[in-house]
């Protein structure tokens, strides 16, 4: 690559894009909310939440010194991350804790980048994270799921115009922030019905002195805080410019 070509790519990545229209910020948030609240769109979109969830487990396992054996993603939107190490202690706790909070925390990081109008940079960071995840996948559906997602994100980042990039990025970040909350409610519903006895929360209860309901509550609190802060980063300044009737 020539110096001019490298400079062009560098500028494309790190230059701030223009402020998106305030209405775009509002409408993409409403679209993300609609996806989370409706059955079929949520069933499809939940795969992105699962990727983030299992990625959180995997990253926490690596950071705490556990041996990561791989990640599986399933067509029913469930997933499994396998790691080896001590069956208790801080490493196990953080690995189990990371899953349900990962989508919201990733969304919060995305909101921070969008708050600085680094839309293209956000999309390329997403591509890098997805490629890192691909290395850890150990089943066919997971490989296809990650490759398709990566291709879509890269295609938007490289070929789409600024407005399309903005719509895609804002919708995706809103979806992670809002969609990170719903699985916590689903988790507690399944636990209450006795259908999820080996959930992350129950495993955390097994390796700590705190009950599973404490961990479910912690997941919810962290994700709600991430949504609140992320909303401020995404919409605080932009929505103030809208002439809303309320």
Helix pair 162-179, 22-37: axis angle to 10 deg: 40
Q: pLDDT at position 197, please?
A: 86
CA distance 116 to 7: 21
pLDDT value at residue 175: 98
Q: Is 69 helix (H, G, I), strand (E, B) or coil?
A: strand
* pTM score of the predicted model: 0.92
The pLDDT of residue 209 is 93
Backbone φ and ψ of 75, nearest 5°: -70, -20
Identify any residues that bridge with 67 across adjacent strands, giving them in sequence order.
84
- Scan for tokens 């009737």, then name that residue: 245
What is the per-residue pLDDT for 18?
A: 79
The count of C-alpha atoms lying within 13 angstroms of the C-alpha of 162, restricted to the half-sphere facing its C-beta, is 12
- Given a cut of 50, the residues of the chain with pLDDT beneath it are 246
Per-residue pLDDT at 112: 96
Nearest to 229 by CA among 115, 149, 142, 117: 115
């Amino acid at each position: 690559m020539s110096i001019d070509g490298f400079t062009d790519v560098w500028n494309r990545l790190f230059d701030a894009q223009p402020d998106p229209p305030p209405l775009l910020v509002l409408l993409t948030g409403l679209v993300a909310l609609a996806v989370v609240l409706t059955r079929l769109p949520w069933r499809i979109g939940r795969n992105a939440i699962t990727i983030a969830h299992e990625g959180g487990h995997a990253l926490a396992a690596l950071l705490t010194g556990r041996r990561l054996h791989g990640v599986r993603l399933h067509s029913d939107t469930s997933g499994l991350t396998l790691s080896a190490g001590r069956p208790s202690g801080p490493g196990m706790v953080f690995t189990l804790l990371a899953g349900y909070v990962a989508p919201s925390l990733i969304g919060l990081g995305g909101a921070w980048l969008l708050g600085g109008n680094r839309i293209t940079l956000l999309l390329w960071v997403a591509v890098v994270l997805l490629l890192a995840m691909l290395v850890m996948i150990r089943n066919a559906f997971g490989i296809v799921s990650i490759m398709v997602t990566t291709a879509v994100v890269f295609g938007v980042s490289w070929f789409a115009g600024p407005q399309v990039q903005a719509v895609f990025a804002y919708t995706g970040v809103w979806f992670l922030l809002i969609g990170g909350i719903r699985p916590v409610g689903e988790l507690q519903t399944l636990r209450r019905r006795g259908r999820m006895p080996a959930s992350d929360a129950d495993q955390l209860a097994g390796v700590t002195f705190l009950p599973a309901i404490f961990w479910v509550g912690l997941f919810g609190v962290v994700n709600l805080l991430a949504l609140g802060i992320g909303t401020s980063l995404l919409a605080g300044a932009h929505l103030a410019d809208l002439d809303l009737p309320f």
